Structure 1
């Protein structure tokens, strides 16, 4: 199994496979994990790594007790396909801040 690491210095979660790094950029806003962008190297595409990475990031958010704001279209689509992650999605606040 490929291990997820949090590279806090670069604000991204990473998985290294065959010496290539797939990652999800994030920011923290208050207690929310804002997931900005997912990137998987072309050499690793078609292997399901993007989905495995997204699920690992969501599982890590759950473990840390954080809600997520899925600004990344890929992660938002995965959450729609896997409703077991729906409870992690932070609702927009009344003042419009996410």
Structure 2
């Protein structure tokens, strides 16, 4: 099932999408900050029918790799992205200097 899934960047909508054919099944949303140098990730979701397949991790990996390739930084306001970065120290260098995670 997951071999049909593709991930695309949709910059005009400020998001990365998971797609199963023509159907959007998940996304991670961001805001552009600091004159385009920072992507502030706000929300990540995967449709319930696709949960438990590791797709959120694949989506965030794709997004963060794309941010890195563009030479940008992130602010992980999204709890999932923040936890992902904590679990994967090789992405911690992407976090914008001075970022303080919001308290929940």
Q: TM-score, normalised by structure 1?
A: 0.86
Q: Number of matched residues?
A: 93
Question: Which of 1, 16, 19 is the equivalent residue of 2:19?
Answer: 16
- Alpha-carbon RMSD across the aligned residues, in angstroms, is 1.6
Unaligned runs of 5+ in 1: 94-98
Deviation for aligned residue 1:78: 0.6
Unaligned runs of 5+ in 2: 100-104
TM-superposition CA deviations, 1:37-59 (whole Å, max 9, x none): 00100010000000110111110
Corresponding residue for residue 102 of structure 2: none
How does 1:20-35 map onto structure 2 within 5 Å? Answer: 20-30=24-34, 31-35=37-41
Instruction: Please give the alpha-carbon distance, in whole angstroms, between the structure 1 residues aligned to 2:91 and 2:29.
Output: 19
Whose helix fraction is larger, Structure 1's or Structure 2's?
Answer: 2
Instruction: Please give the alpha-carbon distance, in whole angstroms, between the structure 1 residues aligned to 2:24 and 2:11.
Output: 18
Question: Which of 59, 69, 86 is the equivalent residue of 1:63?
Answer: 69
